């Protein structure tokens, strides 16, 4: 249905600009709108919104360098990419990380690898298996 809304997700962040730029580069999403307190990114199938944390919450959140990975969460976003190797380099440049190639696994016609963004949020990338 052409008038049906895209799937969408929200990531709350302390540094909206940095996290938005990270997902634009690593996941290949188009950064379509930015303001101090939010950013909108899109692909043909997904809208991703990066929203500033409430100031009271943000005051209690410390982002270490490198960030502490927040693995104990009920959700993990999965983004398709053309190349896990290229995305690994982009993630490192953006202050996050993708696990090493040895940690990749094949499933259902895709190669998968977990990573984290500059604030420690866990995500997964996948590329089509050869």
Instruction: Classify residue 69: in a domain, yes or no.
Output: no
pLDDT-based confidence at 4, cuts 50/70/90? confident
Q: Name the burial class of residue 80, with classes exposed (0-12), middle (13-18) and buried (19+) by CB atoms within 10 angstroms of its CB.
A: middle
pLDDT (0 to 100) of residue 109: 96
Instruction: Classify residue 67: in a domain, yes or no.
Output: no
Instruction: Classify residue 122: in a domain, yes or no.
Output: yes
CATH number at residue 35: 3.10.180.10
**Separation CA 125–CA 128 (nearest Å):** 10
Residue carrying structure tokens 């940690």: 103
At 48-100, the pLDDT tens digits run 999 999 999 999 999 999 999 998 889 999 999 999 999 999 999 999 999 99
Instruction: Classify residue 59: in a domain, yes or no.
Output: no
At 22-38, the pLDDT tens digits run 999 999 999 999 999 99
Task: Quote the domain boundaries for residue 11.
Answer: 7-53+76-128
Instruction: Classify residue 63: in a domain, yes or no.
Output: no
Instruction: Classify residue 66: in a domain, yes or no.
Output: no
Whether residue 1 is predicted with pLDDT greater than 60 in this model: the reply is no
H helix and E strand count, the chain: 3, 9
Instruction: Classify residue 81: in a domain, yes or no.
Output: yes
**What is the mean pLDDT of the segment spanning 39-53?**
96
Instruction: Classify residue 49: in a domain, yes or no.
Output: yes
Number of domains forming the structure of the chain: 1
């Amino acid at each position: 249905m052409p008038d049906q809304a895209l799937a969408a997700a929200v990531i709350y962040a302390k540094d909206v600009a940095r996290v938005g730029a990270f997902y634009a580069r690593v996941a290949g999403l188009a950064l379509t709108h930015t303001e101090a307190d939010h950013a909108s990114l899109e692909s043909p199938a997904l809208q991703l919104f990066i929203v500033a944390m409430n100031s009271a919450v943000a005051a209690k959140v410390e982002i270490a360098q490198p960030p502490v990975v927040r693995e104990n969460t009920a959700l993990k976003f999965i983004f398709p990419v053309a190349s896990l190797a290229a995305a690994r380099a982009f993630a490192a440049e953006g202050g996050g990380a993708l696990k090493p190639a040895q940690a990749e696994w094949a499933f259902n016609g895709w190669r998968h690898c977990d990573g984290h963004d500059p604030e420690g949020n866990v995500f997964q990338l996948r590329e089509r298996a050869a």
